[in-house]
A and B are shown apart, each in its own frame.
Chain A
Amino acid sequence: MAILVIAEHDNSTLKGATLNTLAAATQIGGDIHLLVAGSGCQAVAEQGAAAAGVNKVLCVDAALYEHQLAEDLALLVAECGRDYSHILAPATTNGKNLMPRVAALLDVAQISDIIAVESADSFRRPIYAGNAIATVQSLDPIKVITVRGTGFDPVAASGGSAEVVTLSAVSPAGLSSFVSEEVAESERPELTSARVVISGGRGMGNGENFALLEKVADKLGAAIGASRAAVDAGFVPNDMQVGQTGKIVAPDLYIAVGISGAIQHLAGMKDSKVIVAINKDEEAPIFQVADYGLVADLFSAVPELEQKL
Chain B
Amino acid sequence: MKVLVAVKRVIDYNVKVRVKSDNTDVDLANVKMALNPFCEIAVEEAVRLKEANVATEVVVVSVGPKACQEQIRTALALGADRGIHIETDTMPESLSVAKLLAKLVEQEQPGLVILGKQSIDSDNNQTGQMLAALTGMSQGTFASRVQVIDGSLNVTREVDGGLQTLALKLPAVVTTDLRLNEPRYAKLPDIMKAKKKPLDVKTPADLGVELRDHTRLLKVETPPVRQAGIKVASVDELVEKLKNEAKVI
Q: Which residues of A come within 8 Å of B, CB atoms?
A: 67, 69-71, 74, 92-94, 96-105, 107-113, 122, 126-140, 173-184, 190, 192, 196, 220, 228, 237-239, 244-245, 247, 252-253, 263, 270, 273-276, 282, 287-296, 301, 304-305, 308-309
- CB A166 to nearest CB in B, in angstroms, measures 26
Which residues does chain A contribute within 8 Å of B137, judged by CB atoms?
175
Is there a chain A Cβ closer than 8 Å to B167's Cβ?
A: yes
| Interface size, B (range) | 35 or more
**Contact, CB under 8 Å: A139 / B215:** yes
Interface of B is mostly: mixed
Which one of B162, B231, B235 contacts A287 once the chains associate, using CB atoms below 8 Å? B231
Binds A, one of B46-54, B77-85, B128-136, B201-209: B128-136
**Contact, CB under 8 Å: B238 / A276:** yes
Q: How far is the CA of A177 from the CA of B32 in the complex (A)?
A: 42
Which residues does chain B contribute within 8 Å of A129, judged by CB atoms?
120, 123
Which residues does chain A contribute within 8 Å of B19, judged by CB atoms?
132
Number of A-B residue pairs having CB atoms within 8 Å of each other in the complex = 246
- CB B104 to nearest CB in A, in angstroms, measures 16
Which residues does chain A contribute within 8 Å of B71, judged by CB atoms?
none
Q: How far is the CA of A274 from the CA of B238 in the complex (A)?
A: 12
Q: Which residues of B come within 8 Å of A, CB atoms?
A: 11, 16-17, 19, 26, 93-95, 98, 120-134, 136-142, 144, 154, 157-169, 177-179, 213-223, 226, 228-232, 234-236, 238-239, 241-242, 246, 248-249
Can you list 17 A-B pairs, Cβ within 8 angstroms, ordered by A?
A: A70-B132, A93-B158, A96-B141, A100-B128, A100-B129, A102-B133, A105-B133, A109-B214, A112-B125, A122-B218, A131-B223, A140-B215, A175-B168, A176-B140, A177-B167, A179-B166, A295-B231
* 9 interchain residue pairs of minimum CB distance: A109-B214, A291-B229, A100-B129, A104-B133, A175-B138, A100-B126, A104-B130, A135-B219, A253-B248
- A296: nearest chain-B partner, CB-CB: B235
Known A94-B160, A109-B95, A274-B248; judge A132-B228 contact (CB<8 A). Answer: no
Which one of B139, B158, B165 contacts A239 once the chains associate, using CB atoms below 8 Å? B158
**Contact, CB under 8 Å: A113 / B123:** yes
**Contact, CB under 8 Å: A252 / B239:** no
**Contact, CB under 8 Å: A176 / B168:** yes
